Structure 1
């Protein structure tokens, strides 16, 4: 391509424009040349996997370890001739949601052969939980769980969660290090046409390039694609997901001058925090899991174009592979399989470093773990490092302990040989600094809670509370997520016969700190009424919030409904009209309507359509006893 090529000139102009916009000098940096050769805990066997060291925080965990006797050669599994005697050793393995498929396959492979540990058979089972929830539970010794049901092994998707558990007071239960069984880099994933247009399919950008492109409203216009709108960057919350931790570390490192050499003091530096705060304005909204973003992106592609919803999302390689083969997860837990997408995702590995999720096999140290369970855990870990175990790792979409991918995974996922710049997650101090600064630097929220108060909300649920009482308690608990600078409000909807929406707005959208008491008073005063004017309520309140739209905030409605639309009389709002209004507003003043189906009779189909039309997500609390947990996850979007 010649230097006169208009596409190259356009890219150059975008980069130049970004530099002018920033108007700040960045010191030059070089990714540290030192590398770590890491050793299996207690095994003394070297691995072929090499990571760049982050020298600023020596307390960081060992990110990789291998059971291979020499690089490229894994020992064969050596099962017992026959199973050991019963009763079997019960070995419970707790996985994260992200690596649950991998861990389940490893456990199945282990259980498929005879095992004998200390003369007894082994019965390994798998449970799963988000890494953030598991870190808190492990730190506290899994309160409320019977001793026989507590896990012996925990495999979060990244060692960063061991540091989080340690920092939460879990030193007695959670070791500082685990042993990696496979890895997945955390990358910027982009639809291929968008990656090609901006040139990142060919040339690796820096994180600075990524965040600048996201901040510039005219990025796609400058590249002759105004139909793609603004650059929409999807990120998870660092309080909930490893990809969110990686995104924030990259953002702070980029603003401080070096991703590879980021320090705790730089994270807390007011100037760096202010720059990150400005970067965060480009975030469309946050999520608990990146899979939710991609499930919504797939829906957007089916409706027209993935670019309508997403320009890029920070996510792990394995999830890129899943998406490109047609697998998505609308809730981060369940899986939906369909045909591969028309626009596949391309993984982008920023040239100034990217973090790697190392899936550490961690034998817990709590008093509920006995000696036989520890031996069984060691035997399962041994299996994970064998030829058979590492084949399962590769077939599940991960790099094995020598950094190799399955060829089919590489082809379908568009995953190349991993380039230079891989970084281990830092240790406790830096992760704690990220957690403590995130509430201050994140994009502020402008949220209206919209609650169905139809007559059915008077029904009782299994806990003995009415639906409305449980919903009120869940909303009050969710308010703890909002901090100074966030604005929240409350409205409720029902109707008597063909009358107006009642009671309507009961607490105007205002500062979450100063107006909390008024909000709670209004919430406490809600009572069940009669009908469910769902379409009219959504249409009316979405229009009101669009008129108050603020480009520097996440403008959203949290809709909780337990029923189907009920309207009487002529002239009422139809579903078609409501959806058309939502889609029209989304082009200029996007108000995200997050929908929560509450109870078995909720109109889940319509609620999904509402959230999809606005680029938001649907949440399922059709089991009403789970409403607090579901709503708690939902508000991490802000």
Structure 2
């Protein structure tokens, strides 16, 4: 498939000679080398040839690693590598493989340490020069799962990138479907175009027309393009199909009103957005446990590695804590659309800054050298990724149901297009109908700092989260406690309405909230979920965002029980689905109940049991809209 050349390419050593020369250069310790590596660069790397293998291109022969005979002296130089949530497992394996052999860089031993952040969050941190971190915690290498985040960081003013980067692995971004659904629509044998995907997702009668009314409507899941690479790729294909070219659309086309209108129509098929692929796939597994994954999703745009993880029974509720279970009965099938797909290209980028001394800089370069060796690329493959020849481990391909020889990789858009798509997302995304539901029982008066109670902190966090919403989003506010006479108070404070014109009224209602009484949690959930369902619209993400710091406690009047609440939520989910996102606020929150409430609606549970983290957690939550 024809692919447009990018203005800037990622450096990829493609010959044995090139790599061996680099190995030798790094091995020779000299003042000249140390100074050159440590020096900041004012420009990103120059253009280099397209690294994508073609049928006529000679494959790379990876050299053997050349560890030191004995490790250098302690204390070891520390290379801190910041990864994305998506590729963190691979980066951890690369670090472990590098650390398993003795290293000697400028007379010092070396230890590589890996950390991770959501892709969008990491790009923001890079752009700020890691302003929130102490120098001894700042990374030496950034290894995002896609070069598009380098474009974002540079657009936001990043000055700490030593060079643009070196791809170390690939993972195609595909359409993943539960196998029965892929077979029913025929895409397991005959891959659709992206236009056909969007058309199918917008057809409310697709599954019933194929003899499966029990699957409901076509539910297309996407991650947020502000947070995850798969979400970016989903927006690229949406804009590309609307513009008539997946690999040649421009920033001017992204800004075109007609094209944005077509993209918005595509986005109406989105069930809702989530921060990471792990969020979606965790919920799919929960849905299968209670019936079928089709109750939660029909298809989701994710990377191949996530498909492999899911099919071998690995899921994560939060992207941090990984759970290994039996493989799912409903395996995912990776669909490679026939008009092309993007690939996460995992660039390793040395950083520059006053916190990095010359030895650490040289050690960082040595770690990147290792990733391109036979041993490094073996770690890439066994981590579920394609190596630099696009080769997959045979067992990964089998378990993941991945296509080994698939051809059709699209080049990422230019940097200005990447940033234009992110800028356009608030305009084209599916609109929201959201009710914030706040527990205002007496325990919300608890001090959590010298200046804030739980309630004042919650007000600040909700006000900050409001910045995510834009004209066209309906946003409302309700609060709940139980009065001495058994009534639920104060109730609905600001009915959901267009936040473009109701923001001041919303903030006035938020500022007037006071704590009082007990906690009729079940009654509040049942009442306000039903109210949101009454105003349900297929053209909106219909949701409740619940913040609660305690368990159900309603002694002054009988209330509905937990089992009945969950049954009612499940019934709503099949007719007028309202997503009920729950947020545990403080150490006394009823985590188990909040998890079951969100799970019954296909929404996500968020943990702010450390109340100081509320604003960041709530900020993460609203990326679902």
Check whether TM > 0.5: yes
Cα RMSD of the aligned pairs, angstroms, is 2.3
Q: Is the 8 A contact 1:166 1:176 kept in 2?
A: no
Aligned-partner SS, 1:492: strand
Q: Is the 8 A contact 1:324 1:412 kept in 2?
A: yes
1:88 aligns to what?
76
Q: Is the 8 A contact 1:95 1:156 kept in 2?
A: yes
Q: Is the 8 A contact 1:158 1:358 kept in 2?
A: yes
Aligned-partner SS, 1:90: strand
Choose the corresponding residue for 2:361, options 368, 371, 374. Answer: 374
Superposed displacement of residue 271, structure 1:
1.3
1:103 aligns to what?
91
Choose the corresponding residue for 2:568, options 581, 587, 593. Answer: 581
In 2 relative to 1, CA 146–551 (structure 1 residues): closer, same or farther, beyond 3 Å? same
The CA distance in 2 between the partners of 1:584 and 1:92, in whole Å, is 49
In 2 relative to 1, CA 450–150 (structure 1 residues): closer, same or farther, beyond 3 Å? same
1:287 aligns to what?
274
Query: What stretches of structure 2 of length at least 5 have no aligned partner?
Result: 19-44
Choose the corresponding residue for 2:126, options 138, 142, 153. Answer: 138
Choose the corresponding residue for 2:245, options 253, 258, 265. Answer: 258
Q: Structure 1 stretches (4+) deviating beyond 3 angstroms?
A: 33-36, 38-48, 58-66
Aligned-partner SS, 2:500: coil
1:384 aligns to what?
371
Aligned-partner SS, 1:81: coil
1:508 aligns to what?
495
The CA distance in 2 between the partners of 1:367 and 1:423, in whole Å, is 38
TM-score, structure 1 as length reference: 0.90
Map 1:616-635 → 2, pairs under 5 A: 616-635=603-622
Choose the corresponding residue for 2:200, options 213, 230, 235. Answer: 213
Please list the CA deviations of residues 579-600 of structure 1 after superposition, one character each: whole Å capped at 9, or x if unmatched. 1111111111111110001111
Map 1:132-211 → 2, pairs under 5 A: 132-170=120-158, 172-175=159-162, 177-211=164-198
Map 1:30-429 → 2, pairs under 5 A: 31-32=1-2, 41=11, 45=15, 64=51, 71=59, 73-170=61-158, 172-175=159-162, 177-429=164-416
Aligned-partner SS, 2:77: strand
Aligned-partner SS, 1:509: strand
Superposed displacement of residue 35, structure 1:
7.8
In 2 relative to 1, CA 209–65 (structure 1 residues): closer, same or farther, beyond 3 Å? closer
The CA distance in 1 between the partners of 2:259 and 2:427, in whole Å, is 12
1:521 pairs with 2:491: no
The CA distance in 1 between the partners of 2:391 and 2:96, in whole Å, is 22
In 2 relative to 1, CA 99–64 (structure 1 residues): closer, same or farther, beyond 3 Å? farther
Aligned-partner SS, 1:595: strand
- Higher mean C-alpha deviation, range 347-356 or range 520-529: 520-529
Q: Is the 8 A contact 1:39 1:45 kept in 2?
A: no
Choose the corresponding residue for 1:444, options 431, 444, 463. Answer: 431
In 2 relative to 1, CA 600–435 (structure 1 residues): closer, same or farther, beyond 3 Å? same
Query: What stretches of structure 1 of length at least 5 have no aligned partner?
Result: 1-30, 49-57
In 2 relative to 1, CA 213–61 (structure 1 residues): closer, same or farther, beyond 3 Å? farther
Choose the corresponding residue for 1:478, options 465, 470, 473. Answer: 465
The CA distance in 2 between the partners of 1:595 and 1:99, in whole Å, is 27
Superposed displacement of residue 144, structure 1:
2.5
Aligned-partner SS, 1:124: strand
The CA distance in 1 between the partners of 2:324 and 2:51, in whole Å, is 31
The CA distance in 2 between the partners of 1:92 and 1:561, in whole Å, is 37
TM-score, structure 2 as length reference: 0.91
Superposed displacement of residue 385, structure 1:
1.3
Q: How many residues align?
A: 595
The CA distance in 2 between the partners of 1:373 and 1:427, in whole Å, is 32
- Higher mean C-alpha deviation, range 462-471 or range 330-339: 462-471
Q: Is the 8 A contact 2:248 2:413 kept in 1?
A: no
1:557 pairs with 2:544: yes
